[in-house]
Each structure stands twice: as C-alpha cells, then as structure tokens.
Amino acid sequence: MMKRAIILLSSLLLTGYVLISTVCERKVIGESVKGIHVRPLPAELPSRFVPGRLLVKFRSEIPSEQGRQIIAALNARDADAITPLDVHILDLPYQADEVAFEHAFQERPEVEFAELDRVIPTAQIVPNDPVYSLSANSWALQKIKGPEAWALQTGSAAITIAILDT
C-alpha cells in the first residue's frame, strides 16, 4: 500500500513538473554553457579577467585555417578551445594590453566576438536546470551551498552517481 502511494505521488510530481516546465516560459539573461548559467556582471562592479588571455569566436563561415592565420597575424597563440562553442582561448604576448587586443579582434569582420576571459564571482554562477530556480524544489541546494559547489565542479561524463532509496 505504501509503495503504491509513493509511486502515485512520484507520478503526480513528475507530471506536474513536465506541465510546469512546458507551460512556463522563462526569459534567460546571460549565456548558458554546459550546465552553467552566467549572469552578466553589473556595470558598477570592477571586472577582473585572466591576464594575457582572450576568448575569440570566428563567424561560422570562416574556415579554421583562416582563423589560425588571423590569430598568428595579430601575434597571439591559440592555446586552447571551448570546443562545443568553437571559441578559441588565446594566449597574448608577454605584457600585452589585453583591451587593445580585444578591440583589434573585434574590429575584424571575420570575428563574431572577442572578449577578455573574465573571472566570474561564485555568486553569479547558477545551474541552468529549470527546477533549480523553483524555490520549493531548491531549498536543499541553497542549504548545502550548492551554488558555491557548482563553481568548483559542474559535472563530468567520467563521474557516475547512484541514488539508492529504500
């Protein structure tokens, strides 16, 4: 009898969640990347960034070889990439003016965007899970300081989590 009640309650909750998530349309501000939603920095806060580094994305019609040539022509080095987004992480020359490099890349017609690699405070990193922001369902995550943990690790395909319930 108790198992049937639990199954029925679980089914009702799941149905309610599906209905709420399909009916409620939320406007998202900022960018969502691989499970992380980053809110824009307020203008009054001083923005910190990683020295000597720039994030650049070329327009989709630009071949990767042409992108590499542009990077080399501007004296930067393609150090790494955010592959799912086709964003290049560039190392700039020693003691380079990051803002000048940012503007130089932004002025190129081949570049979709170029920006400093900003350091986002932990308080601004929030999971993009629609259930997380529903206050009734997220109280436990707030209590255990979930957002702070989210800043340290957002998951990995190499990690397996098992939830056992009796």
In CATH, what number is assigned to the domain containing residue 103? 3.30.70.80
**Sheet with 48-58: strands ordered across:** 77-82, 87-91, 48-58, 111-119
**Shared-domain flag, residues 110 and 145:** no
Between these two residues, 86 and 162, which has the higher pLDDT value? 86
| Residue-wise pLDDT tens digits, 45-93 | 456 888 999 999 999 999 999 999 999 999 999 999 998 899 999 999 9
What's residue 11's pLDDT? 59
What's residue 38's pLDDT? 44
**Shared-domain flag, residues 114 and 54:** yes
Residue among 153, 146, 141, 76 nearest 111 (CA)? 76
Q: Percent of the chain scored above 70 by pLDDT?
A: 57
What's residue 126's pLDDT? 65
What whole-number distance in Å separates Cα of residue 157 and Cα of residue 136? 28
Contact status, residue 71 vs residue 90, Cβ threshold 8 Å: yes
**Shared-domain flag, residues 110 and 138:** no
**Shared-domain flag, residues 65 and 99:** yes
3 occurs within a structural domain: no
**Shared-domain flag, residues 81 and 31:** no
Give residue for tokens 């190499």: 158
- Name the domain count of the chain: 2
Position 18 pLDDT exceeds 80: no
**Shared-domain flag, residues 83 and 133:** no
**Shared-domain flag, residues 128 and 100:** no
Residue 32 DSSP code = E
**Shared-domain flag, residues 112 and 149:** no
**Shared-domain flag, residues 144 and 82:** no
The whole domain housing 110 covers 48-119
What's residue 67's pLDDT? 93
56 occurs within a structural domain: yes
Position 116 pLDDT exceeds 80: yes
- pTM for the whole thing? 0.52
What whole-number distance in Å separates Cα of residue 49 and Cα of residue 111? 20
15 occurs within a structural domain: no
**Shared-domain flag, residues 92 and 138:** no
**Shared-domain flag, residues 99 and 81:** yes
What's residue 101's pLDDT? 92
